[in-house]
Structure 1
Amino acid sequence: MHDMSSVPPAAGVTSRRILVVDDSVDGAQAMALLLKYDGHDTRTAHNGCEAVAEARAFIPEVVFLDIGLPDKNGYEVARELRSDPSLRDVVLVALTGWGTDEDRRKSKEAGFDHHFVKPVDVDAVESMLRNLDRAPTPS
């Protein structure tokens, strides 16, 4: 096993604080490990209440959030995070098995910035994280 705490960010990627929320412990850990390998500081949570508490303690820059959680669903968690002034600007990414147009509409209404359907395309996630660095700067 490699010590991931000292892995430098992948070329062209800014290291970010990322929270991965999924009721599948294995799924959350696999995603967090993949992100950590790319140089990100990651934490995991496995239900809605834990996600909100961890987000408030960790203040992540990005949250990958499953919609189908056992207590609060991802839409409720997203709204709660958006209502917290310290988390208002977090990038919320739906990471779910639900991918219809209606599911995407609901995630957007709840405050999600992106919507990925499981199984997640790792290249698409890496591209989205790289593009966060390309946000337009004020002139």
Structure 2
Amino acid sequence: MTSKSKSILIVDDNVDAAESLGEFLKVSGHKVEVTFDGATAVQTAGKLRPDVVILDIGMPRMNGYEVARSLRSDAGLAHTILVAVTGYAQEKDRSRAQESGFDYHFAKPIDIPRLVDVLNRAG
């Protein structure tokens, strides 16, 4: 299913959604870590240096835009692909995601075949 195993960090305050996606990606051959809030995501990404971060935007306290900007300020994460997963799917939301440093924007529910394609093309 995948051309190369990736290290992936999933960040979503919806525990069921995060864990379900994580299990799917593990079964697909990826190394997956799951966190449920922005601050933990920044800390975990700094340690793991994942290939890909799949990040919910609408989280309390530290939203996905803030997390993305923080990750983009870390030179060690310069090559990490950031994927926004959100209920916010208007053009202005896509623009804001891009301005915050996201490489891809997915509306919920996530389009799994498109996500698999993104992962296959990543590094």
- Relative to the length of structure 2, the TM-score reads 0.96
Higher RCO by CA contacts (8 Å cutoff, separation 6 or greater): 2
**Correspondence for 2:31:** 41
Q: Which runs of 5+ in 1 are unaligned?
A: 1-9, 134-139
RMSD (CA atoms): 0.9
> Which residue matches 1:26?
16
**Offset of 1:131 from its aligned partner?**
1.9
Question: Could you give the per-residue CA deviations for residues 1-53 of structure 1, whole angstroms, max 9, x where no partner exists?
Answer: xxxxxxxxx3x421000000000011100111111111000001111101001
1:43-65 deviation per Cα after TM superposition (whole angstroms, max 9, x unaligned): 01111101001111111000000
Normalising by structure 1, what TM-score? 0.86
Partner of 1:14: 4
Which structure 2 segments of 5+ residues have no match?
Answer: none
- CA distance in structure 2 between the partners assigned to 1:104 and 1:28 by the alignment: 21
- Give the one of 93, 98, 109 matched to 2:83: 93
Q: How many Å apart are 1:84 and its aligned residue?
A: 0.6
* Largest Rg, 1 or 2: 1
1:123: how far off? 0.5
Read off the aligned partner of 1:73 and give its amino acid letter: N
